[in-house]
Chain A
Amino acid sequence: MSEQTATCMDTILDEVLGRYPARPSSLIAVLQDLQEALNFLPPVALNRVASALHVPRSQVYHVATFYKAFSLTPRGKHLVSICRGTACHVQGDEKVADMLHAELGIRDGETSADGEFTLQSVRCLGCCSLAPVIMIDREVFGNLTAAALRRALAQYRDDMTS
């Protein structure tokens, strides 16, 4: 890690840790904010969190690997979540997964080679009336067809170039 990224990481860590009281019950909230700021949880951050919140390192790793919201490896710039709820399953979530595979060349849990998209399956997104549904970052796209999916992805690809 370069010196510059190390300083940047320290600033983010200080800032996030400053938002919550330094006690064990803050652990999940701190990790959530770090995941959002850094896009993954590097070991150096987990170690800092352990000592700052007075939580054993083993427990920090336990939490960081238990919950699906956390990733110990870098995620793509955009997170594509396929809803695997019952309504989406009945309306063809497998087909959506196939279409995403065809478009991005990645399967569940993988990140595209250009580092732009990470694909993950999530339990119900709670948008069952729009099934089948995906969420890109925080935007929900429902009643997906192949064409609608391509449009949605293009929107995020364009975002990157502009």
Chain B
Amino acid sequence: MITSPEQLAEYRAKCRSAQTLLRPRLLVGMATCGLASGAAKVFAALREEAALRGVDIDIVATGCKGACFLEPLIDAVIPGKARVTYAGVTVEDVPDLLDAVLAGAVYAKRALARETAECLLIEDCAEPYPADANLEGVPAYDAVPFFHGQLHLAMRNCGYLDPTSIDEYIARGGYAAAARALTTMTPEQIIEAIKTSGLRGRGGGGFPTGRKWESCRKAHGTPKYVVCNADEGDPGAYMDRSILESDPHSVLEGMIIGSFAVGANQGFIYVREEYPLAVERLRHAITQAEELGLLGTNIFDTGHDFTLRINRGAGAFVCGESTALMASLEGRVGEPRAKYIHTVESGLWGKPSCLNNVETWNNVPVVIQRGAEWFAGIGTEGSKGTKVFSLVGKVRHVGLVEVPMGMTLRAVIEGIGGGVPEGRQLKAIQTGGPSGGCIPAEYLDSPVDFESLSSLGSMMGSGGVIVMDDRTCMVDVARYFLAFLKDESCGKCVPCREGTGRMLDILTAICEGRGEPGDIEILRDLATVMSEASLCGLGTSAANPVLTTLQYFADEYQAHIADHTCPAKVCRALLRYSILTEACTGCAACAKVCPVNAISGERKSPHVIDETACIKCGQCYEICRFSAIEVA
């Protein structure tokens, strides 16, 4: 049991000496993205090979560094030497990699980057590694385009520790912020610090966290609750999954500090059921924290009690909305209520409840340890600190990137992301999930912060950045989001339930070549009613994907409605597939791949597509090596 900051320091010293690297250590990235890229096989092969050789080496599973496009990633930590990250490691690489690591050398074939110093962001300490001739040719982290300009506050431990070990979290300075806050600060001082830091909610709304905590502290009624919204529902955003899988204790620590500040003794974490690994990691973390007395009664001997429970979501997007989430926690259907009274005053079971999302809670220990002024020095006037973005879609380097607020979209997409794949053109950037919008390429120099994105008609949302190229149809994107929202609308209020359905009908008609001249006006009318009259954020913002695409890509709507063509060649009903006789070699690859056997012809002579049977799936187009398939 740890009951004082001194005991925590002692415990930490013990953890560090136990880990102080007397032997080499390999950390394999085993979050969901790593696992899907074959990390489990590499991990097993490493362990097997090490056992076979009878060598003294630690091989542990760690979380995700964000460079998902380079998985499986392995970090090699050799006593007294710089930490080296290897990318794209396969089972075949295992023997050579082990040879190199055991010899204290570098396996050049897969070496991606090296750390220049051993640093702990949360404590502002950095110890430079000694010079090492072996490292010649291996770039420093900051020299790798994907990592250049990134600043990992929220992801400070991702990929650096074994997420199932509380000892490793404590060794990296974990729970020291909780110790400091609970034993040396009053709840009011903590709230003041959070306010000064300028931390705003990372889940979408961007509400100032300190003000939320203050309202909850001042609200009448007991008991009070703190809640973690881990129902990360925005399609295209997955930073919360990664944080929960890679560094679950950081969220727990933030919640302990928050519970003390607002005066709550019970907390809930509401996690999507689609994230089974995150649930498992959280359960394990809570048990460990309880065993050390960091959760439970009389934490740090301050008289503060705090217990945490996990609730799994059951597949409803609307439950990311605060009142719907609380209804779901109570065991009811996730329908929002009108917020005349805020949840900080009357939330869960009608009691004052303080809800923040995963990334917000995770930032709290950083604010406490590094100080509010330091935190407020990062970012822009209105948006402080960093934000984790999931950079996905038609971009070369897909993954999670964490940058100071205010960096330009260009720096994120072209610098860190490496731009769109060769030969394609950047068309738009979608941010903010279904409540956000599509920003056209000409606004690439806009800074990424709460205000700038809103002024462009989009929003920060939870941080999904989906890059779209010239093969993305913007009308189809709008239709996609409306289909999503219609499906996820809970149906409680009429404007949202009927509005999303009608908008989807119209957009589907446009995509199928049945659009009519007055459609755009009806879409605008519906948007006005929905934004003014819907009950919750899902409905009020549901028209954003339509409004922004109408604003920036009006000519594409016109092409669909007036000319019955889809310029991006996406909308199936408007496409015609045919085979260019002069280019076809009769290899029959298309005939083999066609799922409906609509392609026929003699081998070695030109084939033809039966248009009546063709379902326009495009598989022939994808497989043809002679550009003989024409899409019109």
Contacts and interface: CB of A to CB of B under 8 A. Distances in A.
Contacts of A62: 332-333
Given A90-B394, A128-B398, A68 B314 contact: yes
Interface string A27-46: 11101100000000000000
Given A32-B312, A141-B36, 15 more contacts: A28-B311, A28-B331, A29-B311, A59-B332, A86-B236, A101-B595, A123-B233, A126-B232, A126-B241, A128-B237, A129-B392, A130-B36, A131-B392, A138-B276, A146-B619
B267 interface: no
B315 interface: yes
A146 B314 contact: no
A122 B274 contact: yes
A84 B490 CA distance: 18
B617 A127 contact: no
A63 B484 contact: no
A52 B190 CA distance: 43
B393 A87 contact: yes
Contacts of A53: 331
B334 to A, nearest CB: 7
B399 interface: yes
A125 interface: yes
A124 B331 contact: no
Interface string B212-254: 0000000000000000000011111110010000000000000
B464 interface: yes
Contacts of B232: 126
A98 B328 CA distance: 34
A86 B464 contact: yes
Contacts of B274: 122, 124-126, 135
Contacts of B430: 86
A18 B26 CA distance: 42
Contact of B619 (A87, A95, A123, A126): A95
A67 B69 contact: no
A135 to B, nearest CB: 8
B472 A140 contact: no
B441 to A, nearest CB: 15
A130 B312 contact: no
A89 interface: yes
Nearest to B31: A127
Given A95-B619, A146-B619, A127 B36 contact: yes
Nearest to A120: B315
14 contacts: A26-B331, A27-B332, A67-B315, A69-B314, A85-B236, A88-B235, A94-B572, A95-B617, A99-B595, A124-B238, A126-B241, A128-B237, A128-B464, A129-B392
B273 interface: yes
A66 to B, nearest CB: 4
A140 B311 CA distance: 22
B68 A130 contact: yes
B33 interface: yes
A28 B466 contact: no
Contacts, number: 153
A86 B276 contact: no
B329 A25 contact: yes
B593 A28 contact: no
B399 to A, nearest CB: 5
Interface of A: 24-29, 31-32, 53, 55, 59, 62-63, 66-70, 84-91, 94-95, 98-99, 101-102, 122-131, 133, 135, 138, 140-142, 146
Given A67-B315, A86-B393, A98-B617, A129 B235 contact: no
B390 A128 contact: yes
A24 B331 contact: yes
A147 B304 CA distance: 57
A32 B332 CA distance: 13
Interface of B: 32-33, 35-37, 68-69, 232-238, 241, 272-276, 311-317, 328-334, 390, 392-394, 398-399, 430, 433, 464, 466, 468, 472, 477, 480-481, 484, 488, 490, 572, 593, 595, 615, 617-619
Contact of B238 (A32, A94, A99, A127): A127
Contacts of A85: 235-236
Contacts of A129: 33, 68-69, 238, 390, 392, 398-399
A52 B534 CA distance: 36
B249 to A, nearest CB: 20
A55 B331 CA distance: 10
Contacts of B37: 130, 142
Given A28-B328, A89-B480, A126 B315 contact: no
B466 A90 contact: yes
Given A27-B331, A131-B392, A102 B595 contact: yes
A128 B392 contact: yes
B315 A130 contact: no
A16 B593 CA distance: 47
Most central of B36, B311, B464, B593 by chain A CB within 10 Å: B36
Residue from the set B328, B468, B488 with the largest chain A CB neighbour count within 10 Å: B328
A127 B399 CA distance: 9
Given A26-B331, A63-B332, A89-B480, A126 B275 contact: yes
Contacts of A146: 593, 619
A32 B270 CA distance: 14
Given A124-B236, A124-B237, A25 B275 contact: no
B484 A84 contact: yes
Contacts of A89: 235, 477, 480
A130 B64 CA distance: 14
